[in-house]
Amino acid sequence: MPETKDEERSSRRTFMALTAAIGGLAACESGTEAPVAGGPRHLGSTISPYSERSKYETTTRFMPATKTPEQASSRTPLQELQGIITPSGLHFERHHAGIPDIDPVNHELLVHGLVDRPTIFTMDDLKRLPSVSVVRFVECSGNGGSEWTAPGSTTAQLAHGLASCSEWTGVPLRVVLEELGVQPEGRWIYAEGADACLMARSVPIEKAMDDALLAYAQNGDALRPAQGYPLRLLLPGYEGNTNVKWLHVIKVTDQPMMTRDETSKYTDLLPDGKARQFTFDLDAKSLITSPSGGQKIADLGFVEIRGLAWSGRGLIERVEVSVDGGETWADAELEGPLHPKAFTRFRLPWHWDGSTAVLLSRATDETGYLQPTVDQLIEARGKNSNYHNNSQKSWTIAADGSVSNA
């Protein structure tokens, strides 16, 4: 029963719209009314073997113009997406030597070093082994690199779009290593990609035996070429660069191999001149995606504050939201099912009264770690390194409803 005049009017409108639609159907059946040419009731297009999104949907990755195509990155439009899965075609990219063209029939994985039975696997061999599917995020450790200095990037995509979340399918690396027999001196693995720069990283054996995955599928489909087709290493919660794409070699070693990408790059220089190395885990982060920079609140009244949170150390336990620049905080609702080391969607209903407001979010993960402010981060680590910025991101809402990073 409608309780107010407004609701009564609204339900009457709905009822009238429904009857009009039913009337239209009847007319169509009896053939007395011709469909409008080109409209929804015109004869539709044919089916196709592989579908594209609607031509009215234009969301894309952001690609900076400053890098060569081979050393490119692209950023996921986090503020345009729903739920927790990033569509494969919008997953962020970071390449150092372009995207290789690999025929899976010819692709092999060599596993050797400190193992009893060195073995070469074809893709068919790998797909016969026991498999799992898990929802996990991948994030470049350079994500948030613009946020060391206020006010940071102007949009959610520019600030934190080097992160995406997919359902990945593959063989647990542990299954392969146990089958081949790791020798007692085997403390690390060396993983190498088949791309032109031979991307390579060293990973502790504990991680390899924990949740490392030899992944061949993403969101129910084969990996996209840009995501390592036909095989990548997935190291949930570890910085993106270690998730070696186009994987073709794993060598079990007794120490890290000190590759280019773990010495000259992907180390974090501290204020005292020393550097942190092998900083693998990505700390808890959250980001309000709506309303966020570049958007505009259409009208006074109800606004659902929406965002994403993730932690490389496990489950997101709590996300708090502030609308007064961090003076007071309210608990957002976390949308289940919750996956560890995965995007977690949060929501908080809000009433916007037309005054200026500063929105912030902060996440706590299952280890009890609380996402820091940028000042706390700088106090701990200085400003010499671009990597691992997981600080709280603020958005300012102006009186006209426009949202910016001001």
Give the C-alpha separation, 268 to 280, whole Å. 11
Residue 334 burial (C-beta neighbours within 10 Å; 0-12, 13-18, 19+): middle
Measured in residues, the chain has a length of 406
Q: Which two tokens stand for residue 174?
A: 């542990």
**157 is a site residue for Co ion (CB under 5 A):** no
CB 240 to Co ion: min, Å: 10
Q: Cα separation of 232 and 123, whole Å? A: 12
Q: Does 239 bind Co ion (CB under 5 A)?
A: yes
| 239 vs 261, beta carbon nearer Co ion | 239
Find out whether 78 and 156 touch, Cβ atoms under 8 Å.
yes
- Quick one: 267 or 402, whose CB is closer to Co ion? 267
Kindly state the smallest distance separating residue 6's Cβ from Co ion, in Å. Answer: 55
Report the residue number, 139 or 239, with the smaller CB distance to Co ion.
239
Among 118-126, 174-182, 202-210, 236-244, the segment contacting Co ion (CB under 5 A): 236-244
How many residues make contact with Co ion (CB under 5 A)?
A: 3
Distance CA 1, CA 99 (A): 59
Buried b (16+ CB within 10 A) or exposed e, 271-304: eeeeeeebbbbbbbbbbbbbbbbbbebeeeeebe
Look-up of token digits 């074809």: 122
Q: How far is the CB of 267 from Co ion (least distance, A)?
A: 7
Q: Binding Co ion by CB under 5 A: which of 155, 157, 219, 279?
A: 279
- Least Å from the CB of residue 268 to Co ion: 6
Q: Which is nearer to Co ion, 167 or 268 (CB)?
A: 268
Q: Does the protein bind Co ion through residue 141 (CB under 5 A)?
A: yes
Taking the complex as a whole, how short is the minimal distance between the CB of residue 51 and Co ion, in angstroms?
A: 39
**Smallest gap, in angstroms, from Cβ of residue 235 to Co ion?**
12
- Report the alpha-carbon distance of residue 176 to residue 127 in Å, rounded: 12
Q: Which stretch binds Co ion (CB under 5 A): 12-20, 254-262, 274-282, 328-336?
A: 274-282
Q: 144: which 2 tokens?
A: 């948030």
Q: State which residue, 58 or 264, has the beta carbon closest to Co ion.
A: 264
Which residues here bind Co ion, judged by CB under 5 A? 141, 239, 279
